[in-house]
Amino acid sequence: MGQIFTEDHDQFRHSLRSFVEKEITPNVLEWEAEGQVPRSFFKKLGDLGFLGIRLGEEYGGSGLDFLYTTVLVQELMQCGSVGVPVAAMAHAEFATKIIERAGSDDLKDEYLRDAVAGNIIGALGLTEPGAGSDVAAIRTRAVRDGDDYVINGSKVFITNGTIADFITTGVRTGEDGYTGMSLLVVPADTKGLTRRRLKKIGTHSSDTAELFFDDCRVPARNLLGPEGGGFKPLMQGFEGERMVLSVIACAQMRLMWEAARQHGHDRKAFGQTLLEFQVWQHRLADVITSIEAAEALMYRGIDMYVRGEPCNAEISMSKLFATETALTVARECAQIHGGMSHMEECGMARLYRDSLAFTIGAGTSEVLRTIIANDKGLAKRRDHK
């Protein structure tokens, strides 16, 4: 790959690192206990210009490429709490970017400036109890009634769900399938919308919710794009989501490897440090080799995306390999910590349990394998004479 980051990226990284060290890392245990990041977290990110990296300057954003988002995610991950970058990206990359991509000028004016400033918080409402990776299976229905849409249904596993001020929501406005899907921006104070926080085994600092829509009336002007045109902008957004998950997984693996390496030098057993045993030298050598491979694949996908090249398969490969590898890396790095790897007070323990959802979010590993297979011609039937 060579050097893909420029001096500007390095300066951006330096400013982020100082912010994370002073404003985030000292607070992550409190946020994990509370089950969410505070509103002040988004406001501080907004004040520093970190929430509108890929949004247009006309809405207060910076209009920069995904490499800057990569740096942002990598540095946020240095706090050691996966929920922190997950909460930030659910707002900045998922909920708002899709409004810029498909929304009317009036809708962009109404939401994007305040979202970039951190004055309001966004969530992406897509997954349902019966529809996860199979986006076309959503059942939450929106029916046009005069100047409004009336929404009924439910969503689940929605990041920022109980703290959001608006939810960019996938709804069904037509028949089953892709062409019957639409997107609506739903204000969180809409009458008939109720929210319930879910208790997870990981990513504790990231709020996750179940949403219920009971005759919720939303202005028809909150429709993103044409009615029935929601599938395409959603699919375009998935590329960004999967790259974010790849970056988070790779950054997390680096943290776990460094913690394992340090512990291996410090902890003694049978009169010598753990890393004086060849078995642990070799196991951690395998770990760092896997991390380097995952990062190389990640940077390849990002580079292609930034250059504007078709890269759905490469991004899918990156997300698949990085998140599956993170599970192995977590197990190996937890093993060298012994019993402490199961104690919440241990950073390694928190990283370990946070890795478990990586292979599910933004497309399961099974769905990604199908995307890759289709792209590489594996699913095509070939006639043999």
Active site residues: 241
- Contact by Cβ (8 Å): 151, 201: no
- Contact by Cβ (8 Å): 329, 287: yes
Token pair of 235, please?
């699919």
Token pair of 298, please?
């990640």
Q: Which residues contact 22 (CB under 8 A, 6 or more apart)?
A: none
The per-residue b/e assignment along 218-248, b for 16 or more CB within 10 angstroms, e otherwise, is beeebbbbebbbbbebbeebbbbbbbbbbbb
Task: Give the pairing type, strands 148-159 and 122-125.
Answer: unpaired
